[in-house]
Amino acid sequence: MRKNTPQSAQENPTSRAVQDFVDAIYQQIHAIPLGKVATYGDIAKACGYPSHARYVGSVLKKLPKNSTIPWHRVINSQGRISFPENSPAYLKQHARLTSEGVLFINGRIRLKQYRHH
C-alpha cells in the first residue's frame, strides 16, 4: 500500500501533488482568524498529510518577503514560537501575535484558548 505523501503521488512530471499541497498549506493558514493560532501539525493534518508538520515549517521558511500570509499565527505544539527566543524573527512573531490579543505567559500561549479548530 502506498503511503500518503505528496511525493508518492507524482503521476505527472511536474509533481502537481506537491504544488497542490503547498497551495493547501497557504489556504489553511489564511483560514486562521485574527487572534487565533494553529500548530504546524494542525496545518499539515488539515491538508491531508498528518505527518508533514516539518514540511509546513520548511514551506514557511521559503515564503517570499512580500507574502501576505499570516505566518505568525502558526506555532508549535507546545504553544511556543519555533524561533530562538529573542531572535529577530521571534520578536516579530511575538509582537504580531500580541498585537492581535494573544497573550504570552512565560514564552508560551494557551492553546486551549487560542487554537483554531
Partner DNA sequence: GATATGACATGTT
Partner DNA sequence: CAACATGCCATAT
Instruction: Please give the residue ranges that form the binding site for DNA (CB under 7 A).
Output: 3, 5-8, 18, 39-42, 51-58, 60-61, 63, 71-72, 74, 76-78, 82-83, 89, 93, 106
Q: How far is the CB of 92 from DNA (least distance, A)?
A: 9
Q: How far is the CB of 62 from DNA (least distance, A)?
A: 8
Q: How far is the CB of 103 from DNA (least distance, A)?
A: 15
How many C-alpha atoms does 46 have within 13 Å on its Cβ side?
20
Report d(CA 107, CA 67) in Å as an integer.
26
SS3 content of the chain, % helix, strand, coil (to 5): 45, 5, 50
Joined together, the cell numbers standing for residue 102 give 494573544
